[in-house]
Each structure stands twice: as C-alpha cells, then as structure tokens.
Structure 1
C-alpha cells in the first residue's frame, strides 16, 4: 500500500460498493471512505460490512445521517437512532458522522443546534470519533449561529455557483470548523458535456496534467478546502486524480475566475 494521502476521500454516493474498488483504493493510499445512511437505497452501511467488513478498520469512515426512508428529519431521537444503527450496521464506530443536508428541513437556529447536539453527544459518548455538517446548498444556513463543528463539507469545484461558494465561505468564517471538505468536484461525471467545453488546465501553473486532474486540483480552491471527496467505481480514475495532486494552482487565475463569477447575472 502506498503512503496514505489524506487529501482525497473515496465517496460512495454513486458507488456499487465493490470490494475490489476498496482494495484498490487502499493499494493507492486512499484510506478514507465517505458514505451516508441513505446511500445505496439505505443499504450502504450493511453492504459495506457484508462485502468488506475485514477491510473497514483500515479506513477512516465518514457517514451522514438525516435522510430516512420516509424523508428528511432533524428530530433528535431519530438522529440518535440513526447513529446507533450505523454502528450496528457497519460493525464499528465511524470516524466521523455528519448531519446530512440540514437545509433540506429549513431549520431555525434552535432546531439546528438541537440536531447538532445529538452528534456532539455521539462523539463524546464514543459512537463516532468526531462530528460535522454536510450541506449541498449552504445558503439557507448562513446567519445561523452554531458551535464549532469538527468538519464542514460543501460542494467544491468549477461547477459551483458564485452564491453557493460565497455561502460556504460565510459558514467557514462564522462556524470556524476544524476542517473543510469539498465534494462533487465534477458535478457527477467527468464525461458530462460541460467538460468538453472548458479546459481546467488554465488554472494550473504548468500544463503537465490531464484536464480531469486539473479539474480535481482546482476543486481544492473553489472554495478553499482541505480534502475533496470524489465518488467513483473506477480505480484508474482514483489513480489519475492522485497523480494531479502535486500540480500547483495559479492563484491569480483562480481569483480572476471568482471575480467573473460574481459579475455574471
């Protein structure tokens, strides 16, 4: 196994949860998995344990709670039950549990605080190592005061709108998370038509990278994140992304891009 690279997380949103993919990830030095209680039709945790239970202790595992088979809920009792069930289904305590898209339930400050308190208690009680918030659209959460989460997970990359980028940065400023993670750097697919129209290598100081590598690398700057989670079933895709992490971004080009985004209607 290669030396672990903590900047990349294997996301399981669109994954079929194959054992060979997890083995290949470990061989490449990708030792972090990101999933959610509702992934794979609410069977992600139990499927992981069934196909790769012996491998799971080799990963740091982040998961999310908030979506249930009957919809989204921030009810503290249901969230607590979901965390406890995650431990049972995975067969181990996850490294981190994130509150999944709390904006889906349009919470006020009290509701969000009570939901987060469940995860704080879970971490302090040993059900998980740490806690945080994962938000697909952070804009409804801006202005809500919150105790400092361990991690804030937001969308990152060239397909994220200016208003979402600004909102994510506002939450980072207000909540001061210990770590900021990015997700969905390609908006779902590197083969989408949009990637035929733009060459992300313009954001690099050197063109010695593939456009996929460049798109992934720039996701660490839009907004500024420590880690990026990417969903794939292809080990070669992971290998390609790892190969681009050493590329240096052109900060001036990234800044100019942000300014253009803000000026666009």
Structure 2
C-alpha cells in the first residue's frame, strides 16, 4: 500500500458534540465524521441529528456497532441479530444511512467465544455485510483496539471489511503495529482503506509529550510543533491514510489539519519500529 493523501477524520469519542466544531471542521475541509452507538452515553446519534442534522449530509459519516446498554453499563455482543438491529437503529436515529459502519472491538467478545470464536467473527461480519447489501449502510468495516486476536480467526470464505481502523501513533506497541499490517494484508486492503485512531494515546497533555520530540520523524523539523509532528507521524505507525482525532476546540483541529504538510522520514520510522520489536522480544525473552 503506497498510501493516499493523508486525511483527518473528526472523531466524537470524547467530544461534547457541539455544532460549532462541526461547522469549523467543514470550513477546514474536514468532511469525514466518525462516531459510535455507545458514544456520549449511547446518545451520540440522537444528539447529532438534533443539533446538526442539516450538516450531516455534508459529511462522510461512519459509526460503530457492538456495544449495547446493559444492566451494569455497556456490554459487548457479536450476536448477528443485535448487530443488524443496531445498524437499523443508527440509520433511524441519525436520520440517514451511515456511509460506513464498523464492527466495534470484536476482540472484546471473541475471548469469551472460544472455541467458536472464528465462527462468531464470521457471523458478525456476515451480518454487517448483509446490512450493507440491504442499503442500511454504504459499506462496513472493523475497528479494533487490539487487533492481534483477530489474526488467527480470519475465515477466507467469510466477507471481509472495506475498512480497518486500528490504533496509530508513537505510543502503539510493536505487537499491535505488526498485527495491523498483517490484517491489512490478509483482508487485501489498499489505499484509503486503513484508518488510525487515538494518535496521542488519549491526551496531548500527557507527560510523555513533554519528554520526547516527535519532530525527529520529520524531514523538516522546524515547521511543526511537537503535537503536530506526533500527529503527522501517526500516519506511518502503522501505515494509514486517515486518522480519527477528537479535539473539542476548532483551533486545535486546525493545527492538526496544518500538520498534514509535514513530510515524514520513512527511514526513521522503520528504525523506530525495529527498536520497538527488539524491545518487545526482550520483554518476552
């Protein structure tokens, strides 16, 4: 995969779902919006439709299914019937069919599904594939926080996703990076079909970003800030074409969009990945 032009996806994981952020995103040329059925206390879809329903047609909209309200909080399920119903409900609550629906963290339930975990994954994928075929969404994908358990469960006879979303960035370990690469190859995904998420590991204010200077990964380190450089490097750790990020302030989103002009030094990225693998092997030894 040689890579398409890098793209920013406005993610709503920690967002307050304010209209001003969506209008600012459109002004910045950010036209991809990502949410999930369980975001904002399982109210993300309804709030979006109520506060920015007129703006949603201007976005390529993705959401996720897999988490459901339970008696003790959120619960996860790969039951095909529940997944299909969730896709139908998403379209109803949003007031439009999503462009993309992700199977959300399937590894969460697969650990408990063994020895029938491969069958469980195949049935869940088939359910989303059928939902797309019926027109409930334009396409479907897999969003995985820990993709490693999926590698041995891929059924070549089962439908495969159009998009894979995985963690990306300097705080992602070698095991996750290698698993993302392997899944990309196994599902034969090409340009524009692999997305990254959580490029800062949850917070740009974490102490780690004051201790390291990600600008070493750029060819011209003087052009961008440390946060911008970390964001730009995330497109190569692993190789992704889009990164979902969730700033609540338009100015911060603008800084990240401006970071796309940075050129990443691929040799430094590969050296860094080699160091991560060596460290991982040392911990396992």
How far is the alpha carbon of 1:148 from its aligned partner? 2.7
Q: Deviations over 1:218-263 (max 9, x none)?
A: 1000000011000111111110011110111111111110011011
Q: Deviations over 1:194-230 (max 9, x none)?
A: 1011110000000111111110111000000011000
1 CA distance for matches of 2:161 and 2:42?
A: 25
1:142 counterpart SS class: helix
How far is the alpha carbon of 1:6 from its aligned partner? 6.6
Task: Please say if 1:189 is aligned against 2:203.
Answer: yes
Task: Please say if 1:93 is aligned against 2:97.
Answer: yes
Task: Please say if 1:77 is aligned against 2:54.
Answer: no
1:189 counterpart SS class: coil
Count of paired positions: 261
1 CA distance for matches of 2:166 and 2:236?
A: 12
Task: Please say if 1:133 is aligned against 2:142.
Answer: yes
How far is the alpha carbon of 1:169 from its aligned partner? 1.0
Other-structure match for 1:221: 236
1 CA distance for matches of 2:97 and 2:247?
A: 24
How big is the alpha-carbon RMSD for the aligned residues of Structure 1 and Structure 2?
Answer: 1.1
Length-normalised TM-score, structure 1: 0.96
Other-structure match for 1:204: 218
How far is the alpha carbon of 1:161 from its aligned partner? 0.7
Q: Given the superposition, is the C-alpha separation of residues 200 and 6 from structure 1 closer, same or farther in structure 2, using an over 3 Å criterion?
A: closer
Higher mean Cα deviation, 143-152 or 14-23?
143-152
Runs of 4+ aligned residues of structure 1 deviating over 2 Å after TM superposition are none
Q: Are the counterparts in 2 of residues 66 and 73 from structure 1 also a CA contact under 8 Å?
A: yes
Q: Are the counterparts in 1 of residues 125 and 160 from structure 2 also a CA contact under 8 Å?
A: no
Q: Are the counterparts in 1 of residues 6 and 260 from structure 2 also a CA contact under 8 Å?
A: no
Length-normalised TM-score, structure 2: 0.90
5+ residue gaps, structure 2: none
How far is the alpha carbon of 1:39 from its aligned partner? 0.3
Task: Please say if 1:24 is aligned against 2:24.
Answer: yes
5+ residue gaps, structure 1: none
1:206 counterpart SS class: coil
